[in-house]
Structure 1
């Protein structure tokens, strides 16, 4: 069913699936055909928007999880309404809450997810999350070797962040590594990791991974690779194929290496009936490519034209 009118709900910040389900009769009376949901997949714990996804194959527990989502879908269907969801193929959160990212930090180029992220592996992975240079932070006593509360393994502790050590740099020497206090020894251990902690100020000139604009906390994904596409779209495709979701809104399509190829693969997987739109900011005179298998954009160009009239 092609939408005639949508109503967007921003989940999180108090908006849960059950709260949304209670609004469905009201939304039906407004005359909408589809509910349009902000990203519903698991994101960082402090997320207010959901675009900083940490698990693309789990529905966010804090807004109701899979069970809450299914209750919302059931209510929408009971009222004759459809559902469009916002998906984020371009990036994920470069957060320690992201199990794939954590695995890359621990195993470097040997991680099974090393090629999932758009990382330049000709050098160490840069982590620009310090308030100053590594040397300055170390000298100030802000970094220490401590057990990671999440795993119990030795890690570089910087306030509440625990950066995992490569196994080869501590296994068989755990007690010795955890007892390190000598700054030179800690610096040497840091040099032997597949990653490099650095000041946030150095990100612009030294970053080793593609990010979303200038947001260092969002790392680019290589969805042009079929394995990465499959791993990041498993639940999305399930929700479409089972009829829970009727349409997809693709976030930041221009961030992808090959938007046309991505959309062709997505269309092949979801079939012809799924309603797909893309978030694309068209410049004046620019047209959406005719060979993209989508129904259109999210409408920014219409809003821009309307604003000129008003």
Structure 2
């Protein structure tokens, strides 16, 4: 099996299934990708638009075309030199499945009792009152929906029950179709959803690699700061959030931090210290959503719920990897001991029973996800492009030197991305927001003007203005849907579990009036520079080490917001509707085609410009290719442009694939980037 050179992510839905994917094969081939990367393909809840709620692992989803449709699609793709990567969900499945019904009907006598991570108490399991699928039985009891049920969930979603794939029979039963697709040669790569939910991610990946023969595998692992993927995981890397945040930082001006934080605190009344906001948010979600998980953890560790709560709140990462029966690695010990309220608590979760060790780790991820991704990031947002999965919104900017150093230690086949089905906002929304770090004074003046005409909630308005500017033009309905989600996630005035109808009606009225303001005038000013950020980050992501992924539709401009907005249908082929579209499509196509010519082994070679504007250039080589991108374009313009700044190309003649011009030796950057703010050069005399 070949490893991908690049991937294109497609969100399958009942309205866009296998036949439709086959229909865009010529377009994807011409775009230059090597693999089509599909969202989950196993049978999910029939009307599911995402597929992560599997109900039957033995079937390929009928709404997409079933097994026959999958094979036919694979044959068409193969005829266009395209292979398939699929997204799989080993951690959980929807509760509306036959196996769980059997467990509720027969209790521990069910042949599927070992499938699920259930806490049996007096032979019964605590469940919520589902609208349908509940058999009359003595083996469960109904609890209030505000309480955690008696089984491990995906985060706080009670309709998604945790699977025990550490059991060999469960692993085989839930992966039988996946293994068949691999054995038949119909699939050449796997994306593993939420590995941190598993009892032993390393063991799972070991078993998967042993069975699949080393197929290309990436994991949806969220890394924080300088955290790295465990070296002993049998996979090729992550799905790319770590890369996304570093590329994003390249185009953020650190000098914008102080004025933007000051503006944010003035408008919202929020704390200027992000860690304090994050800590409060994590504590709130533990008390709101995870009381059942903490109580269960308390029973197996002997530690008080209060002390466990303090430990979970203080954990800085999604999981500190400890395997029962093995020595605790120093980094994991250091993380847990620093977070624990006392040595006894740390010892209980590091050196206690196997269940205590595993269950603590499985609880850390949900607290981080709900406390940070789904709460704190909706409360603290001086510059919203930094509020991404795995991001640190108080960390403004990545230097070129740090970026080169990061690229130098990347795994060669890790995935890289800028937009996914789970990002908080698309790459081009972030490109516009990045500009604000260079225009804090102008931005403050604009926001004050809008706020003087229209105000609603100080805790939300500033996020609303950023979003409206960066997603412009946007319909009132889309903007309203986003603000409702943002407000409910923030949980300060309304929430998913306790909505405030009066507040939400006021929010709808605010959104309808806000879209009528002349926000587009400021967006037009921003776009003079956002184009450079958009093309620059795209070129960097496509040409840096790793396997670049393009999320559907993002080969041209896309101004989508958080799901479900970013999962809207895409019209193929993606044609250019503006000069920005045309330039982005050109950069994407030429870079993807060049990556196929280069192959995966091309070395990463940091390069540097010389001259007074050198800090504004990101330059690196990839074998017989050189990529050049502009960063911090506002400051560049204010200093009068590139001036005498130049780069020295390696020996030979080099053709810019975007303009078709030839260059040799010492080349003025202003000349090289006279038409586009980026250049993609290929050695011409080989």
Give the TM-score taking structure 2 as reference length: 0.36
Cα RMSD (Å)? 1.2
- 1:129 & 1:303 partners in 2: Cα distance? 40
Q: Equivalent residue for 1:217?
A: 159
Aligned-residue offset at 1:282 = 0.7
| Secondary structure of the structure 1 residue equivalent to 2:134 | strand
Residues 1:284 and 2:255 are matched in the alignment: no
- 2:25 & 2:33 partners in 1: Cα distance? 10
Structure richer in helix, relative to its length: 2
Confirm or deny: 8 A CA contact 2:14 2:47 kept in the other structure: no
Aligned-residue offset at 1:121 = 1.4
Confirm or deny: 8 A CA contact 2:106 2:139 kept in the other structure: yes
- 1:195 & 1:247 partners in 2: Cα distance? 40
1:259 to 185, 188, 201: 201
Residues 1:126 and 2:68 are matched in the alignment: no
Aligned-residue offset at 1:108 = 1.1
Q: Equivalent residue for 1:298?
A: 239
**Highest RCO, 1 vs 2 (Cα 8 Å, sep ≥ 6):** 1
Residues 1:93 and 2:35 are matched in the alignment: no
- 2:157 & 2:5 partners in 1: Cα distance? 35
Aligned-residue offset at 1:309 = 2.2
- 1:307 & 1:195 partners in 2: Cα distance? 48
| Secondary structure of the structure 1 residue equivalent to 2:226 | coil
Superposed CA offset, 1:246-302 (max 9, x none): 000000011101000000000000002x11110000111111111111111000101
- 1:86 & 1:285 partners in 2: Cα distance? 26
Q: Where in structure 2 are the equivalents of 1:21-170 lying within 5 Å? A: 21-95=22-96, 98-123=97-122, 124-129=124-129, 158=131, 161-166=132-137
| Secondary structure of the structure 2 residue equivalent to 1:217 | strand
Structure richer in strand, relative to its length: 1
Q: Equivalent residue for 2:610?
A: none
Q: Where in structure 2 are the equivalents of 1:218-233 lying within 5 Å? A: 218-233=160-175
Confirm or deny: 8 A CA contact 2:101 2:133 kept in the other structure: no
- 1:39 & 1:126 partners in 2: Cα distance? 29
Give the TM-score taking structure 1 as reference length: 0.78
- 1:294 & 1:201 partners in 2: Cα distance? 38
- 1:307 & 1:10 partners in 2: Cα distance? 24
Aligned-residue offset at 1:13 = 4.6
- 2:31 & 2:247 partners in 1: Cα distance? 22
| Secondary structure of the structure 1 residue equivalent to 2:50 | coil
| Secondary structure of the structure 2 residue equivalent to 1:49 | coil
- 1:129 & 1:48 partners in 2: Cα distance? 24
Structure 1: runs of 5+ lacking an equivalent: 131-157, 167-192
| Secondary structure of the structure 2 residue equivalent to 1:276 | strand
- 1:104 & 1:208 partners in 2: Cα distance? 13
- 1:238 & 1:67 partners in 2: Cα distance? 13
Aligned-residue offset at 1:46 = 2.8
Confirm or deny: 8 A CA contact 1:7 1:36 kept in the other structure: yes
- 1:23 & 1:104 partners in 2: Cα distance? 43
- 1:202 & 1:112 partners in 2: Cα distance? 28
| Secondary structure of the structure 2 residue equivalent to 1:35 | strand
Aligned-residue offset at 1:94 = 1.1
Aligned-residue offset at 1:122 = 2.7
Structure 2: runs of 5+ lacking an equivalent: 252-686
- 1:101 & 1:73 partners in 2: Cα distance? 32
Q: Equivalent residue for 1:146?
A: none
- 2:80 & 2:166 partners in 1: Cα distance? 38
Confirm or deny: 8 A CA contact 2:5 2:33 kept in the other structure: yes
1:194 to 122, 139, 147: 139
- 2:54 & 2:115 partners in 1: Cα distance? 14
| Secondary structure of the structure 1 residue equivalent to 2:126 | strand
- 2:217 & 2:176 partners in 1: Cα distance? 17
Q: Equivalent residue for 1:145?
A: none
- 2:57 & 2:249 partners in 1: Cα distance? 38
- 1:270 & 1:27 partners in 2: Cα distance? 27
Q: Equivalent residue for 1:307?
A: 248
Confirm or deny: 8 A CA contact 2:14 2:64 kept in the other structure: no
Aligned-residue offset at 1:235 = 0.8
Aligned-residue offset at 1:197 = 1.9
Confirm or deny: 8 A CA contact 2:7 2:37 kept in the other structure: yes
Superposed CA offset, 1:158-196 (max 9, x none): 5xx141124xxxxxxxxxxxxxxxxxxxxxxxxxx1011
| More divergent stretch after superposition (20-29 vs 282-291) | 282-291
| Secondary structure of the structure 1 residue equivalent to 2:150 | coil
| Secondary structure of the structure 2 residue equivalent to 1:288 | coil
| Secondary structure of the structure 1 residue equivalent to 2:128 | strand
